Amino acid sequence: MKLIFGRRLNEMPVSDIAFYLACIPLVIGPPVAAIVIIGVKIMQDRSRLHLAEWQKPLGIAAANILISLLIWRYAVNQFTGSVEDTVYWLRDLFYFRPPDLMKPTPI
């Protein structure tokens, strides 16, 4: 097994694995996996719900998911705005229409 923080993965408590997964930012998968792991462990023994070693990663994972979704939404909005600006700039650059000089001016 691979080493994580100097310990083998199979020697680590499940709560530590859930905590490390909960702390991975900007990717939704690991925090969701942490919530699933915590949910399975809490279903096995309901008394774990009141232990800080399970509450802490659960809160971190939930906050991480919310913050990641906000960041991704902001990034998508910025990207689409930049694409729109680039398209308008290219349209204005290549679509030149000379002014109508022969058009009569209203008095």
Q: What is the pLDDT of residues 18-38, one digit of tens each?
A: 998 998 888 999 999 999 999
Q: Note whether 57 and 19 are within 8 A (CB).
A: yes
At 32 the pLDDT is 95
pTM over 0.85: no
Low-confidence ranges of the chain (pLDDT < 50): 1
Beta strand ranges found along 1-53 (DSSP E): 3-4, 7-8
At 2 the pLDDT is 60
Closest CA to 20 of 47, 70, 45, 56: 56
Domain limits, the chain: 3-94
At 105 the pLDDT is 67
At 100 the pLDDT is 63
At 94 the pLDDT is 78
Beta strand ranges found along 1-101 (DSSP E): 3-4, 7-8
